[in-house]
């Protein structure tokens, strides 16, 4: 599919390098670490969405044998947060959502800690909660963070003092009002997206321990060890050289493990008990309530079009339900703000994206980072505009979809764009123009399509580093801090290094997940790992190769331009060979410890390559209008199409086919690409039809898999196919871009569009349940 004979490793679907460890149970996750003399933590949580803490009585709990320490928010009041320092790990003065941690206990056993929690009495005075982003916007709304104007915040975010607005992102391009006046038609639509849970297999768990010298080690299920280290250092005023974060394997994250969650609860308890590890693990119910959730969102889209179907103006308003703390959520709202037009060439755009405090669970990053939510609106709106004009949903996408040399909403000129190629591929593979078979009068089938895009939402100067070392036998250690969370990055990074050195990937062992032992990586988020960490790995391998070539010049007696690396899988090695005298060759491990000269002296020393990468030519956008010639590293664009069957008697929707095509630049591993895209389609299917956190007065009513439904194997489409359009990224390693998150973006709106095409009812809120469909069909009849 992707290997054109140019490469020996790139494009190959080699097996996952971590596969054996995971299927045999040898992989060690954060919950697998058990230490002598461990103390176990449990937490007293708020039963109210918004309340003042009047008093806390811990006296009876302190008397319980086996209880070691009890802390409240008064023990450590400093706020923390990656982008906006608004978060306390234990509530201070007020509670802001149901489930917020109020008191933490550590004891000799979990059972004792739980009993101690039951003995703690907290007296609350209920306050009026804010339970929707629309209510949060009202001038007379209760202030959830009255001290917002004093919080430390990154300069690219703009809280509005004395309101519930923690960030207002503004984008302006062209003259929107003038364009609306000139438009043939102007239409407006509204859409709603609920909160959803990430539902990783592994729940959050953390163990913290202080050594006698004051050094802190945290074993945690986290996606971004260096970001967690930085956040914990800032929050607890511990020097970075005294903080070590270990997270070797992570059992799924989808964004829920990108920031800090429970680490800040166990650290103060560990500080009170030096030398003793303190451990806290979330139950599945805790995971639903107290880990990040995907933020809810209300969208209003106003679109102006010409008679021919060219979009000339668009105004978007996004109101995000950020929950009780938005220290990470503000960045999602920013991403939505500058991507709000979708992958379309629109000359006049105005977007206002608001992050709003509510008394709901804490919103945070979720696969797609806001793109799934806004595209549910963008892509349905596009179908509605096409219907109003009397043209097909396909034709409006052909006329407006981004092409090379078109401008994005931020004024960036696209060097390449795979939109049109992806669209045509999906139309062909789905046989979109072929009528569906409708042989059952009680069931009706139809097809739908949607597109999507995503860029890495990250600072313009984020850094990555990698080290590769050759062992004496010609094997290698590759060191990185890109976190393997199931997406296959360990395999892709290994392939990149193997390609540069022309060695068998089996000779490379990758290590990561330890901030003391491995070099810096910003975060494993934003679908940036293959691109950013991959570039660092490629540079490290090239650095090592250059050092080997320097020594080989001396050893082989020729210039390095006349030397090449020849992979020999039969002998499980690689030879360094003189080009015109191929009998003049030596195994690569000849240079593992440098070069021994004829007189017995040595030179060069151990073979180590170092790679450092910062995204080239990224420039911050103007905060007034979000315009910049290059605000992001890249855009990944793609299209998903589907065929659905709607049961007119039960309202049940069966997705029969889902087909996607994306432009990820160059595919590094064909099997992993297909797995990412196919998995993303199934995850999108779940959010489209079933997944929703049902909130009543701020309380989650369905915090278990009994009541919160995610797709099973039985729900998967019979046809689930992924295709690729490779328009290489100039700055990517071997031309690669990220794919993990973008692959989910168009799935839900494609299903929504197909349901509309089947029954003629537009659903502006997800999930689209069987009950919703039956109710709509009843209204149709009346």
**Residues forming the active site:** 741
**Phi-psi category of residue 701: left, alpha or beta, with phi > 0 → left and psi -120 to 50 → alpha:** alpha
The whole-angstrom separation of Cα 175 and Cα 177 is 6
| Residue 534 burial (C-beta neighbours within 10 Å; 0-12, 13-18, 19+) | buried
Contact 639, 680 (CB under 8 A): no
Spatial neighbors of 213 by CB under 8 A, at least 6 apart, are none
Contact 235, 78 (CB under 8 A): yes
3-state SS assignment for residue 466: strand
DSSP for 399-447 reads: HHB--TT-B-TTSPBPS---HHHHHHHHHHHHTTTSPPP---TTEEEEE
Contact 349, 301 (CB under 8 A): no
The whole-angstrom separation of Cα 674 and Cα 679 is 8
Q: Nearest 10 degrees: CA dihedral of 385, 387, 390, 393? A: 80
Going by their DSSP bridges, the two strands 67-72 and 296-305 should be labelled as unpaired
- Going from the C-alpha of 69 to that of each of 21, 269, 274, 313, the distances in angstroms are 37, 7, 12, 60
Q: How many other C-beta atoms can be found within 10 angstroms of the C-beta atom of residue 767? A: 23
| Residue 420 burial (C-beta neighbours within 10 Å; 0-12, 13-18, 19+) | middle
- Going from the C-alpha of 442 to that of each of 326, 439, 655, 759, 782, the distances in angstroms are 46, 9, 16, 12, 18
The whole-angstrom separation of Cα 376 and Cα 750 is 8
Biggest alpha carbon distance in the chain? 99
Going by their DSSP bridges, the two strands 51-57 and 94-95 should be labelled as antiparallel
The whole-angstrom separation of Cα 76 and Cα 263 is 14
3-state SS assignment for residue 595: strand
The whole-angstrom separation of Cα 777 and Cα 771 is 10
Contact 205, 221 (CB under 8 A): yes
Contact 448, 754 (CB under 8 A): yes
Alpha-carbon Rg for the chain in angstroms = 27
The whole-angstrom separation of Cα 101 and Cα 72 is 9
Contact 320, 428 (CB under 8 A): no
């Amino acid at each position: 599919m992707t290997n054109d004979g140019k490469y020996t490793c790139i494009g190959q679907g080699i097996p996952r390098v971590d596969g054996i460890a995971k299927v045999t149970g040898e992989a060690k996750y954060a919950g697998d670490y058990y230490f002598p003399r461990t103390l176990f933590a449990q937490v007293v949580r708020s039963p109210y969405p918004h309340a003042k803490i009047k008093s806390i009585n811990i006296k009876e709990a302190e008397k319980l044998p086996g209880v070691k320490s009890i802390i409240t928010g008064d023990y450590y009041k400093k706020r923390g947060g990656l982008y906006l320092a608004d978060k306390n790990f234990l509530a201070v003065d007020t509670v802001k959502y149901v489930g917020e941690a109020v008191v933490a206990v550590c004891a000799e056993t979990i059972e004792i800690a739980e009993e101690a929690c039951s003995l703690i009495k907290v007296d609350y005075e209920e306050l009026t909660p804010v339970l929707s982003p629309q209510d949060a916007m009202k001038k007379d709304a209760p202030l959830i963070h009255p001290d917002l104007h004093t919080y430390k915040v990154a300069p690219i975010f703009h809280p509005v003092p004395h309101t519930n607005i923690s960030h207002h992102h503004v984008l302006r391009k062209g003259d929107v009002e003038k364009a609306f006046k000139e438009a043939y038609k102007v239409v407006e639509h509204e859409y709603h997206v609920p909160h959803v849970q990430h539902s990783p297999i592994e729940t959050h768990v953390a163990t913290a321990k202080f050594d006698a010298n004051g050094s802190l080690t945290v074993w945690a299920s986290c996606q971004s060890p260096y970001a967690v280290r930085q956040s914990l250092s800032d929050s607890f005023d511990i020097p970075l050289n005294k903080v070590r974060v270990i997270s070797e394997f992570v059992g799924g994250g989808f964004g829920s493990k990108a920031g800090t969650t429970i680490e800040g609860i166990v650290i103060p308890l560990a500080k009170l008990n030096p030398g003793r590890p303190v451990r806290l693990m979330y139950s599945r119910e805790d995971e639903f309530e107290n880990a990040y959730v995907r933020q809810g969102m209300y969208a209003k889209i106003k679109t102006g079009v010409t008679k021919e179907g060219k979009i000339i103006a668009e105004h978007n308003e996004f109101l995000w339900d950020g929950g009780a703390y938005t220290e990470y959520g503000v960045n999602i709202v920013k991403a939505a703000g500058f991507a709000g037009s979708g992958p379309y060439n629109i000359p006049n755009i105005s977007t206002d994206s608001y992050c709003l405090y509510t008394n709901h669970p804490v919103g945070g990053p979720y696969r797609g980072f806001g793109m799934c939510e806004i595209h549910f609106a963008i892509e349905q709106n596009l179908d509605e505009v096409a219907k109003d004009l009397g043209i097909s949903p396909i034709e409006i996408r052909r006329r407006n979809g981004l092409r090379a040399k078109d401008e994005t909403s931020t004024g960036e000129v696209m060097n390449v764009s795979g939109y049109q190629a992806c669209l045509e591929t999906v139309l062909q593979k789905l046989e979109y123009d072929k009528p569906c078979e409708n042989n059952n009068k009680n069931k009706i089938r139809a097809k739908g399509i949607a597109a999507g895009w995503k860029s890495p939402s990250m600072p313009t100067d984020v850094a990555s580093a990698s080290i590769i070392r050759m062992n004496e036998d010609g094997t290698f250690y590759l060191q990185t801090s890109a976190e393997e969370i199931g997406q296959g990055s360990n395999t892709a990074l290994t392939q990149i290094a193997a390609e540069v050195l022309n060695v068998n990937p089996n000779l490379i062992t990758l290590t990561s997940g330890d901030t003391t032992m491995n070099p810096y990586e910003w975060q494993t988020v934003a679908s940036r790992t293959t691109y950013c960490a991959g570039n660092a790995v490629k540079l490290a391998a090239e650095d090592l190769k250059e050092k080997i070539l320097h020594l080989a010049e001396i050893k082989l007696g020729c210039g390095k331009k006349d030397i090449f690396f020849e992979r020999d899988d039969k002998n499980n090695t690689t030879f360094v060979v003189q080009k015109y005298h191929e009998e003049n060759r030596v195994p690569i491990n000849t240079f593992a410890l440098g070069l021994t000269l004829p007189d017995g002296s040595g030179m060069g020393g151990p073979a180590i390559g170092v790679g450092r990468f910062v995204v080239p030519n990224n420039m911050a956008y103007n905060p007034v209008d979000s315009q910049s010639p290059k605000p992001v590293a890249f855009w990944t664009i793609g299209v998903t199409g589907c065929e659905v069957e709607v049961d007119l008697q039960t309202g049940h929707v069966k997705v029969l086919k889902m087909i996607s095509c994306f432009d990820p630049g160059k595919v590094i591993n064909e099997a992993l690409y297909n797995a990412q895209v196919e998995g993303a389609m199934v995850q999108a299917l779940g959010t489209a039809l079933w997944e929703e956190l049902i909130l009543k007065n701020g309380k989650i009513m369905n915090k278990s898999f009994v009541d919160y439904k995610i797709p099973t194997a039985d729900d998967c489409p019979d046809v689930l196919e992924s295709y690729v359009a490779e328009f290489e990224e100039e700055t990517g390693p071997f031309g690669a871009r990220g794919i993990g998150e973008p692959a989910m973006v168009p799935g839900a709106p494609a299903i929504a569009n197909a349901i509309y095409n089947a029954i003629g009812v537009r659903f502006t809120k997800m999930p689209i349940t069987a009950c919703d469909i039956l109710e709509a069909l009843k209204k149709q009849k009346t």
